[in-house]
Structure 1
Amino acid sequence: MDQLEARRTVNDGSGRLSNSHRPDPPGDHTDDKNKSDISVSVDDNTATSHLEKGLCTRQHLCVSKDEDGLEDTFEDALEEVHEDKALVEDREIDNAAKFELQNDIFSMFFLAPYGSASFFYSMIVFAVQIIILILALINKLKPDGDESIFKIPARNDPEVTLSQFLAIFIAVVVSTDVVDSLEVFLIKYDETILHDYPDATWTKWILSNILRFIEGILGIVVAMVFIVQATDVLDLFLDFTAVLFVSDLDNVAYYIANKGYTGAESVQSLTESMLDVTMCQNERFDDIMGEMTRKKQRRRMLYKRTVFYVILLILLVGMIGVYALQKNGFFYKTKCQRFQINLPAEEYAFFEKCIKNKSDDEWMQCSDSWKAKGEQGSPINFSQFSGVYKMKTKVNSGGADLSHDGRPHYEQVSPSEDFYPDNRDKPSGIFRYCKNENAWVFTIEGVSKGANANDCSWLLKSPETEADTMDDLPEEDWKVWTGAIDESAVDITCLDCKDTKSNGAPDQAKDSGCNFRGEC
């Protein structure tokens, strides 16, 4: 009678594996050639392999006449599978509960003895980071003339706005120090670390994460200031990259120390020993998140992702708010609102069109007073439109009216009474931006160059410019339309006065142009 032997591998409690035998199951006997020796081995790394072996064993012995023996063998294999699955799960849980220290100078600070080269090395790098970031922030926020709040531009081109949103996402992805520092709530300080690192106390553990958080937050704030102040795509990413490099100095300094470039063997030795240091997950966090299971690693990643997306959401909401204020013309409030503008004494025989087109309204609708001026041969003299021009604002929000090509426009406050004697017909002069001409232009309400004119019917035109307001316009090289194109100059003076008092005493030199009420 053939015998079926199953050698079973078990743990004898000492960590060694041994084989135990059990009697051959009863069954039909065949030749010795048909004897089967089934061995089920334990693979600590992959429990699934046992199940596959068990299934293969059963399939291989399906032709055997000893069905009871085969059933027992398969059950033994399944028991081993379950035992090994438990071992694998325990290891997964143990690995999920362990946290490796970050490879940066803050972890060096945590482990380094007070007064050691590693301690001072980490503190010097941290100080350099903070000093550079603070100096950059002061420079970017320093008041400068009529700049808006935080020096945010009043308007940006679409490509710049898109780059700003992309830069925010990159900043949060690259700046991981904030997320890493907040992991302190997940990690339980283990006092056994004091055996190898006597100065790695709980206080230093908390302090190292506080320093990491301060550096990370400051880096994100400075990056955000650079982003919202950007007016050019190339300049944005150049400045932004510089800020990210400074924020990443803690990791760069660790790499330099690990390669031995500092010249101090103790510093290099500490960076190498850090790789073997792990911390355990906080039990209080386990109570909140649930029992220790194989999903612990997922919970940890969920925590980190939550922090990441919260930071990203805050920055995106801030950028969306800035964009909305720009579209509403809010930041033009800090620009000069009123200008004294003196136009050249050039003439344009416009009213003659009212006579030439009396029977035909191809050019314009002329009032009786304009037709009378045409009959009298009176031209438009641009100097009569000199005066005060004020930025047009929205009634509800107070922001600038951006209805003309995305920039504010300026309307004449009090049109000339001499030129328009009747109260019914007093069109005012307007300064606005003309996108078709890529310049600022002067127009008069109702005065057109014709129905097919696509040049904003300009009567005066500045040199080509991207200026957002009249503050930045040149006064020379203006084009004047007199039926032909001539050149002239326009005098532009801001009438908004700013307080220039210093220590209670006014600056006489700056205030004289504003009747000693401030700087114009």
Structure 2
Amino acid sequence: PEQGTSLESPLIAANITTNTNDSTENNDGTQNKEQGDPGNKEDDAREKIPPDAFSMLFIAKTYSEHALPIGVFVLQILILVLISLDLLQTYDREVITFMNIPVIVPLSVTVSQCIACIVSVFSADDLVYGVLHVNKRPIDIKWEVSNIMRIVEGVMVIGVSLIFIVQSSTAIDLWLNFAAVQFVGQLDNLAFALAKMNFFRNAEWELAKRVSEYRVHDNSMQTFKRTARIIWCVMLIVMIAGLSFIFYTQYNLHFACKSITITVGESSSAFPLARYLSGTYILDTTRINGRPVYVQKQGTNGAFLAYCGSINQWTVSSYDDESRGNIDDPCYYFDLQSETTRTYDVAEIKTLRLPVRNGGVVIGWCIC
């Protein structure tokens, strides 16, 4: 009996091996490894690699096959770097806040910023896949390089998206810029899709087919999914926490000008009428129409600079003798008015001009 058992065991093992390697042959001669025994544990342990340009780099064999994935990666990074440099420029603003963050933003922008943070985190699949798969295989330079490229591209997309999110002062600008950055982040997927449709050469088409058929052994898919969820949650918490801190500083007028100086030149024809409005205006704790108020620190009668919502202009109004020390309605009676604007930042006012009562032509001049 013992000898019979030893003779039958190799046959049983051979049959099992034959069944596990079962595969169907396609018309083009390639083997479809997705089909097989439903109970086959080896097939269950196989994982598809992402259908993108980075996987094409990993599978590529010839120098010509490396050209497309490397070119796409260089193009992505170049675009993102150029956008970053442009976003960090100060241009001609007189007062520059940290990262050019607006002084205050309306509620529509605040809600859009929160939604954009969530979308940017859960669309960062390249970053998550690269982090989880780097150093997960035996020494393979191309495998490591492809995942490092995913990480670099994912970090750049998240970073540029975050800058756009915090710098936006209108909802439409936020979503237009955000969509553009997300499109740049999808260029690697787009390049693979075009290659699979034979948009480029036959070499790229064959390479895309090999990527689609390639499998890697991964016996820890459940752990992978759980770790991916943890990474997404951590990124989301960090971005929401940073955004909340910015909301808090904006609410406390941390980015607003602490003071602004208005000077009416003596050579101006309006000097006799508006000279008492010259002086330094200090940031007050009061808000009108969601914007800061500035109170004159030095002057004859005292005045304040505030935003009039009915005409969408910043106005300079003087106190009455009876109401001195109280902030009145900036739309009721004002001595100077700015151009029509919806800005929350007083530093963006270009001119202040003298209004003409009872209609007529507005006489304007620049007060610096």
**Alignment TM-score, normalising by the size of structure 1:** 0.57
> What stretches of structure 2 of length at least 5 have no aligned partner?
1-10, 17-36
C-alpha distance 315-341 of structure 1, shift in aligned 2 (>3 A): farther
- Quote the Cα distance in structure 1 between the aligned partners of 2:111 and 2:130: 30
Give the residue type in structure 2 aligned to 1:272: K
> Which has the larger displacement, 210-219 or 304-313?
304-313
Q: Deviations over 1:106-165 (max 9, x none)?
A: 11111212x521112211111111111101111111122333221211121111111111
- 130 and 464 in structure 1: CA distance in 2 versus 1, 3 angstrom threshold: closer
Q: Which residue of 1 aligns with 2:299?
A: 415
Residue 328 of structure 1 pairs with residue 219 of structure 2: no
Runs (4+) of structure 1 exceeding 6 A deviation are 343-347
Structure 2 residue corresponding to 1:98, chosen from 30, 46, 50: 46
Q: Distance in 1 between matches of 2:298 and 2:221?
A: 72
Contact persistence 2:262–2:277 (CA under 8 A): no
- Name the SS for the 2:291 alignment partner: coil
What do the CA deviations read for 1:298-337 (whole angstroms, capped 9, x no partner)?
Answer: 332111111111112222122212221211112224x873
Q: Is it true that 1:444 corresponds to 2:367 in the alignment?
A: no
Structure 1 CA distance for aligned equivalents of residues 175 and 286 of structure 2? 28
CA displacement at 1:255 relative to structure 2: 1.0
2:150 corresponds to which residue? Answer: 212
> 1:402–1:128: structure 2 CA closer, same or farther, 3 Å change rule?
farther
CA, structure 1 residues 402+110, in 2 after alignment: closer, same or farther (shift >3 Å)?
farther
Deviation, 1:491, is: 4.6
Once the two structures are superposed, what CA deviation does each residue of 1:23-74 show, in whole Å capped at 9, x if it has no partner?
xxxxxxxxxxxxxxxxxxxxxxxxxxxxxxxxxxxxxxxxxxxxxxxxxxxx
Letter of the 1:276 partner, please give it: E
Which amino acid letter does the alignment assign opposite residue 218 of structure 2? Q
CA contact (8 A) 1:391 1:408 kept: no
Amino acid at match of 1:154: V
Distance 1:448 1:277, change over 3 A: farther
| 1:314 equivalent in structure 2 | 238
1:279 corresponding residue in structure 2: 216
What CA deviation, in whole Å up to 9, does each residue of 1:64-101 have, x standing for no partner? Answer: xxxxxxxxxxxxxxxxxxxxxxx97x64x645533221
Q: Matches of 2:264 and 2:107 in 1, distance apart?
A: 32
Equivalent residues of 1:108, 1:122 under 8 A apart: yes
**Structure of higher CA gyration radius:** 1
Which residue of the partner structure matches residue 81 of structure 2?
A: 134
- The farther-off stretch of 227-236 and 336-345 is 336-345
Partner of 2:24: none
1:175-231 Cα deviation digits (max 9, x unpaired): 311011112158434xxxxxxxxxxx6122111111110011101111111111112
Alpha-carbon distance in 2 for matches of 1:155, 1:162: 13
Other structure's SS at 1:409 match: strand
User: Aligned with 1:479: secondary structure?
Assistant: coil
1:228 pairs with 2:166: yes
Post-superposition offset of 1:455: 5.9
Structure 1 residue 15, shift from structure 2 partner: 4.1
Query: Contact 2:259–2:283 (CA<8 Å) still a contact in 1?
Result: no
* Structure 1 alignment gaps of length 5 or more: 1-11, 17-86, 190-200, 283-295, 348-380, 394-400, 417-426, 494-520
The residue type paired with residue 214 of structure 2 is: V
Are 1:244 and 2:182 an aligned pair? Answer: yes
SS at match of 1:261: coil
Q: 1:404 to 1:177 in 2, by over 3 A?
A: same
Measure how far apart 1:297 and its partner are. 3.8
Taking the aligned partners of 1:465 and 1:310, their CA distance within structure 2 comes to 39
Rounded to whole Å, the distance in 1 between the matches of 2:232 and 2:77 is 22
**Mapped contact 2:303–2:317 kept (Cα < 8 A):** yes
Equivalent residue letter for 2:185 = S
Identify which of 465, 470, 489 aligns with 2:341.
Answer: 465
2:284 maps to 1:429: no
Post-superposition Cα deviations, 1:249-307, rounded to whole Å, max 9, x if no partner, equal 111111111111112x222212112223222237xxxxxxxxxxxxx543321111111
Quick one: structure 1 residues 116 and 489, their matched pair in 2 at CA, closer, same or farther if it must change by over 3 Å?
closer
Change (3 A) 1:184 1:336: same
1:188-199 to 2 correspondences below 5 Å: 188-189=137-138
Q: Is this contact kept in 1: 2:261–2:278, CA < 8 A? A: no
State how far apart, in whole Å, the 2-side matches of 1:233 and 1:465 are: 16
Quick one: structure 1 residues 96 and 448, their matched pair in 2 at CA, closer, same or farther if it must change by over 3 Å?
farther
1:386 is the counterpart of 2:262: no
SS state at 2:51 partner: coil
For 2:265 and 2:365, the matched residues in 1 are separated by 6
Greater relative contact order structure (CA < 8 Å, 6+ sep): 2
Number of corresponding residues: 328
Return the alpha-carbon distance in structure 2 between the equivalents of residues 323 and 158 of structure 1. 11
Cα offset for 1:411? 2.4
The Cα of 1:104 is off from its aligned counterpart by 1.0
8 A contact 2:259–2:294 mirrored in 1: no
Measure the CA separation in 1 of the matches of 2:322 and 2:265: 22
Distance 1:458-1:247 versus aligned 2 partners, 3 A rule: same
Task: Give the 3-state SS of the residue equivalent to 2:66 in structure 1.
Answer: helix
Cα displacement string for residues 455-509 of structure 1 (whole angstroms, at most 9, x for unaligned residues): 654232525432334444354664356xx6675446521xxxxxxxxxxxxxxxx
Partners in 1 of 2:290 and 2:321 — Cα distance?
Answer: 23
Q: 2:125 aligns with which of 168, 173, 176?
A: 176
Q: Percent identity?
A: 23
Between the aligned partners of 1:448 and 1:257, the Cα distance in structure 2 is 77
Q: Is 2:115 the counterpart of 1:166?
A: yes
Cα pair 1:171 1:223 within 8 Å, conserved: yes
Question: C-alpha separation between the residues in 1 aligned to 2:270 and 2:177?
Answer: 47
SS at match of 1:337: strand
Match of 1:122 in 2: 69
Q: 2:32 aligns to what?
A: none
**Rounded Cα–Cα distance in structure 2 between residues aligned with 1:243 and 1:329:** 29
Aligned position for 1:406: 290
Distance 2:275 2:89 in 1: 42
